[in-house]
Chain A
């Protein structure tokens, strides 16, 4: 069976009259059904831009794309408006960081879920509302019948995020895109939502791409983790390998600088400096200015993403 999603050499550039931003600079990966890929990166690394490109959510008139995104074999970058409309919310669904702004505040949650179901499946009003109720039960929202009639602001943050997951699953997508869905939630609620996503993923055999800046969250949900820096995947590996033996100096630095249990009293190994400006394309490795292992060939030309084992890819001249 072919891959669910195949991304090849994706470049995304935003062009405005006074500035050009190279947000994504050659991203390639595959995703199977039933698999969760975590994309880990800091702000400006291109992780959200990559994710949104899969649904072509960027403004058409000032975005330049190249490369290929194949969803179940269909080229997303060549789709017309109709095919895109079927793709969005149909085969591919997305959940966002802030469910309060992802929902329309003037319609009830039930209305918005039912409307989506009718648009994509052509079900009757009654059937669509029935399905909406089942979905709220599925994401374990208590007293779903009352909650269908609630407006988004009447729900708590955790409940709204569950409702958004229900909306995302309403048309049986095969791919779920998650853009920091638990970042705005409290700790005790975050873990509930992470467990829910993991469980639904298994139940519906979904492919999931989970974008986050939080290593702990990525480790909790992912089968594989891709670390992004300056618009490129610098390392891609199964989660155990990524945690036990990260090979790219940036991944190593990120793990070492993340505070966790048992680090009290020790000095943190911070990565010096800040991420590069995406306005200009670097000639060599983008991480070279912050890297402690930098050598002349790092700045000569950008390194390729090369396999160091069957499942582990690293973009560094030092990786062997």
Chain B
């Protein structure tokens, strides 16, 4: 029965809730005879991050940058090629640590497609009770938990418990998905484009709800989105990804107020302005993001970077501390050989 009650904090407020070190995931594609000449999608390369207790870590980037792979690695829907993870002091999937099943109980996930995420043959109550029952909660208690969960996400239990997913609107379905993610009282919730498919008026409702739930339940979020405005609204810290690499990581005020990496700057200034008198007149960068199969050597952004020099093709820039954030750019590394190096 222990497994269905909330897990108590272990390491205190200073110990990160989740630590990931050197995560790497490559996907082989196509492939020649006997695997010779196989190509590889470098979806995530050498990713290190920590999520502090009670914070929201935003992850932004364009399609193919690896942000959804990060989500799947953190909850072990994908097995990393290398790298380690530690959940509140416990190594994951190691002899003296916690099992992957235990990780998945404490870390839950909400996906973008609210309809595909739900079993169409189960009622909302059955969906929400599934995991608690599987973890040994008696039926009567599971029923009570379902009612509590529905009320938490703003759906009237009498009205919604016995409905099927197709009877709900997109916003209501996403509320159910959030309720399901909370059913096992997790500590960390990974939201992968969780509001991206919703209409704006409904998105605002769900965002308000996420803020409330976090405060009420003491949750920690990893919020993954391509929408820079929404990430800015929710996050305490932001991680910017480009072609499988972290290019910049820091507090939200620093990333949005004083972006250091040329890619972060381009991404921010590509946002449409909300002021018709201050329209964009020139695109900050040209072209599309390159294919993550065979990404450029050295700095992966160099093919679209207005400041690229010879060193950028030769050496991969390390993540370097600059002021309040960390940046992977040769212009921020003293003595890197870039003419604009600090």
Find chain B residues with CB under 8 A from A216 CB: 271-274
**B227 (CB) vs chain A CBs: closest residue:** A259
**232-252 of chain A: CB within 8 A of chain B:** 239-240, 243
A215 touches B200 (CB 8 A): yes
Q: A254-B200, A264-B233 known; A186 and B283 CB under 8 Å?
A: no
Find chain B residues with CB under 8 A from A195 CB: 280-283
A268 touches B208 (CB 8 A): yes
Map CB proximity to B onto A201-234 as digits: 1 under 8 Å, 0 otherwise: 0000000000001111101101000000000000
Query: Does residue B252 face the partner (Cβ distance < 8 Å to A)?
Result: yes
**B60 (CB) vs chain A CBs: closest residue:** A187
- The number of residue pairs between A and B whose CB atoms lie closer than 8 Å in the complex comes to 128
For A, the interface residue count at a CB cutoff of 8 angstroms equals: 43
**A40 (CB) vs chain B CBs: closest residue:** B200
Complex: A270 Cα to B200 Cα, angstroms: 9
Complex: A240 Cα to B63 Cα, angstroms: 32
B270 touches A213 (CB 8 A): no
Query: Does residue B207 face the partner (Cβ distance < 8 Å to A)?
Result: yes
Query: Does residue A303 face the partner (Cβ distance < 8 Å to B)?
Result: no
**163-217 of chain B: CB within 8 A of chain A:** 169-172, 199-205, 207-208, 211
Query: Does residue A308 face the partner (Cβ distance < 8 Å to B)?
Result: no
CB < 8 Å neighbour of A159 from B62, B172, B205, B288: B288
CB < 8 Å neighbour of A260 from B199, B252, B274: B274
Q: A261-B232, A263-B233 known; A243 and B63 CB under 8 Å?
A: no
Q: A192-B286, A259-B233, A274-B171 known; A264 and B202 CB under 8 Å?
A: no
Find chain A residues with CB under 8 A from B283 CB: 188, 191-192, 195
Query: Does residue B131 face the partner (Cβ distance < 8 Å to A)?
Result: no
Complex: A300 Cα to B289 Cα, angstroms: 54
Query: Does residue A158 face the partner (Cβ distance < 8 Å to B)?
Result: yes
Q: Can you report 28 A-B residue pairs in the complex whose CB atoms are below 8 A from each other?
A: A42-B200, A156-B291, A157-B288, A158-B287, A186-B226, A187-B62, A188-B62, A188-B285, A190-B272, A213-B200, A216-B272, A216-B274, A217-B272, A219-B275, A220-B273, A259-B207, A259-B227, A259-B232, A267-B211, A269-B204, A270-B202, A271-B204, A271-B205, A272-B205, A274-B169, A274-B171, A274-B172, A275-B199
Residues of A bordering B, CB below 8 Å: 42-43, 156-159, 186-192, 194-195, 213-217, 219-220, 222, 239-240, 243, 253-254, 257-261, 263-264, 267-272, 274-275
**Given contact pairs A195-B280, A270-B201, a sample of 13 additional A-B residue pairs in the complex whose CB atoms are under 8 Å apart:** A187-B62, A188-B270, A188-B284, A189-B288, A189-B289, A192-B283, A215-B274, A240-B277, A243-B274, A257-B200, A257-B201, A271-B205, A275-B199
